[in-house]
């Protein structure tokens, strides 16, 4: 019997050019477990490296990447700052390459955390070189899915660099990053809690079970959402999950080759102007926090929108006690008994709907999800970027 992914046969997926994307979406809980196993194995080395950095005074942490990898930093910067009690900021490699002095301070010990699937984009390599030029005491942590990539190979060997390589299967073959994104995100969450490695097993198991629950129970609902003719999709989240909303927006645009235009904003920020994007061809996604304080603000907006003159479509994801009764076209209700996971880890789960809906929508547009950019506008590894020598 043929293997199925996302309720489609392997043969059908191969004929449509979607086998890699479908398989990579479905493998994510397995890859999270494998990522945790690597973290457990390397936790001693990771701890020594990070402790050495944190022993410095007046440090800063910069989380960086490009495109989807930049949204990892955006999602994790608050997590690292809260866990470590040091100044952290997310800066795209594409910003660092043009304006390095805006971000690096020569005298300040700096940890540069770089995220990359392949590690072969020109900006990743250039950012490392610029950091070494403009920081007197630089520590480098590279989190990548490709041990053979340039980023992984650039480790300095001076004791102030560490490369965390994820399972080889996370190096997605598809153009769109799916398991690579969520697994690097998961790695970042684990590394942020490197001092608690022995107490993370239950959290890891819960996250993986929730991922499996979504994949097992909501594919038909996601397919229904993808079947709507809407050409605008808006993702709303609060600060901690805003990077995931940003990534979700991009995933829809990539997988539909720009046929769907995405937008992302915070629940509170959306009221201040961006709300004008809503029309009757819009699907709005509500990413609801399991933090009761935060959820108050989010649900206020959801109920106000449901009772407004907005006649588009909507989807909500959250734990059942929070989203029960919401009048949306699809409500992903996560089991109440698993709701005690830290809010940070919702980020790994909440990217799944956009990945899957984007996949189905790509097929609906007659595209190949593995390579949806039929005109070559975008590619798996960015092309055509020339790096110039900076003049001081």
In this prediction, residue 373 carries a pLDDT of 86
Q: Is the pLDDT of residue 218 over 90?
A: yes
Single out the residue of 32, 12, 34 nearest to residue 22, CA to CA.
12
Q: Where are the beta strands (DSSP E) in the chain?
A: 4-5, 8-9, 60-64, 87-90, 110-116, 138-144, 161-165, 232-237, 261-266, 282-287, 313-319, 330-334
In this prediction, residue 391 carries a pLDDT of 79
Single out the residue of 117, 359, 118, 145 nearest to residue 254, CA to CA.
359
* pTM of this structure: 0.96
All structural domains of the chain: 4-195 (3.40.50.10490), 208-365 (3.40.50.10490)
Q: Is the pLDDT of residue 380 over 70?
A: no
Q: For 151-165, 275-289, 345-359, which range has the lowest pLDDT when averaged over its residues? A: 151-165
Residue range 243-273, pLDDT digits in tens: 999 999 999 999 999 999 999 999 999 999 8
pLDDT band at 9 (very low <50, low <70, confident <90, very high): very high
In this prediction, residue 381 carries a pLDDT of 66
Q: Is the pLDDT of residue 225 over 90?
A: yes
Share of the chain above pLDDT 70, in %: 98
DSSP 204: H
């Amino acid at each position: 019997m043929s293997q199925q992914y996302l309720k489609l046969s392997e043969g059908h997926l191969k004929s449509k050019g979607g086998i890699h994307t479908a398989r990579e979406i479905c493998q994510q809980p397995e890859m999270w477990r494998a990522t945790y196993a690597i973290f457990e194995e390397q936790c001693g080395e990771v701890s020594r490296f990070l402790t050495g950095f944190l022993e410095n005074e007046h440090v800063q942490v910069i989380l960086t990447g490009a495109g989807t990898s930049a949204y990892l930093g955006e999602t994790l910067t608050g997590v690292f700052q809260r866990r470590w009690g040091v100044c952290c900021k997310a800066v795209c490699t594409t910003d660092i390459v043009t304006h390095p002095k805006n971000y690096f301070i020569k005298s300040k010990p700096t940890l540069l955390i770089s995220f990359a699937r392949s590690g072969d984009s020109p900006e990743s390599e250039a950012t490392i070189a610029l950091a070494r030029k403009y920081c007197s005491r630089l520590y480098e942590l590279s989190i990548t899915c490709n041990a053979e990539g340039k980023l992984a190979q650039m480790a300095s060997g001076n004791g102030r660099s560490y490369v965390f390589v994820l399972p080889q299967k996370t190096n997605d073959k598809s153009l769109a990053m799916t398991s690579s994104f969520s697994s690097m995100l998961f790695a970042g969450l684990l590394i942020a809690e490197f001092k608690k490695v022995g107490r993370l097993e239950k959290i890891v198991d819960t996250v993986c079970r929730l991922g499996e629950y979504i994949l097992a129970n909501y594919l038909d609902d996601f397919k229904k959402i993808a079947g709507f003719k809407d050409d605008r999709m808006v993702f709303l989240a609060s600060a901690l999950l805003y990077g995931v909303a940003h990534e979700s927006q991009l995933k829809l645009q990539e997988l539909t080759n720009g046929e769907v235009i995405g937008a992302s904003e915070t629940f509170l920020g959306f009221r201040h102007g961006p709300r004008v994007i809503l029309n009757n061809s819009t699907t709005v996604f509500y990413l609801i926090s399991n933090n009761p304080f935060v959820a108050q603000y989010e649900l206020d907006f959801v109920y106000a929108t449901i009772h407004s003159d907005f006649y588009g479509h909507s989807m909500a994801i959250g734990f059942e006690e929070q989203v029960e009764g919401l009048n949306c076209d699809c409500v992903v209700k996560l089991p109440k008994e698993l709701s005690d996971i830290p809010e940070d880890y919702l980020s790994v789960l909440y990217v799944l709907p956009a990945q899957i809906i984007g996949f189905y929508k790509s097929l609906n547009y007659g595209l190949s999800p593995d390579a949806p950019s039929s005109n070559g506008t975008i590619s798996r590894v960015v092309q055509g970027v020339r790096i110039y020598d900076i003049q001081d």
